[in-house]
Amino acid sequence: MREYKTFGEFWPFYLREHSDPATRGWHYVGSTLAIGVLLYALFTQTWLLLLAVPVSGYFFAWVSHAFVERNKPATFTYPLWSLIADYKMFGMFLMGKLGPELERAGVTAKSSAAEAEG
């Protein structure tokens, strides 16, 4: 894997590592669960539940990399940038703006017809 010096360089790589719509979908499931667990833990002041936030978020992402995308998660090499990129990808998906980003990153074959992401 090439070494990325800036998030701007890393972002297209991150999107290419998530070229399969199913992989992105499982990431969205994990991100949604992580946000839900975080909010529940904060509102109920169940502090031990905060330990479940990364587990709930990463479980679905890592399983999707192993069984859908069949690649190594970027989290292992770029943990902070991967976390930021995951929520950027999720936010862009929710706003319907991910499609053009995927195209700029060179992700077209698996995503263009399969998703209505912008």
Position with higher pLDDT, 115 vs 84: 84
Which structural domain range is residue 51 located in? 31-104
User: In angstroms, rounded to a whole number, what is the distance separating the alpha carbons of residues 98 and 96?
Assistant: 6
Residue 14, in any domain of the structure: no
pTM (2 decimals)? 0.87
> CA-CA distance, 37 to 67, in Å (whole number)?
25
The answer to whether the CB of 16 falls within 8 A of the CB of 107 is yes
Domain presence at residue 10: no
Percentage, residues of the chain above pLDDT 70: 91
**Phi, psi dihedrals of residue 71, rounded to the nearest 5°:** -140, 170
pLDDT for the residue 1: 67
Q: What is the pLDDT of residue 74?
A: 92
Give the model confidence (pLDDT) of 14-60 as tens digits. Answer: 999 999 999 999 999 999 999 999 999 999 999 999 999 999 999 99
- Does residue 87 sit within a domain? yes
What does the angle CA 92 – CA 95 – CA 97 come to, to the nearest 5 degrees? 55
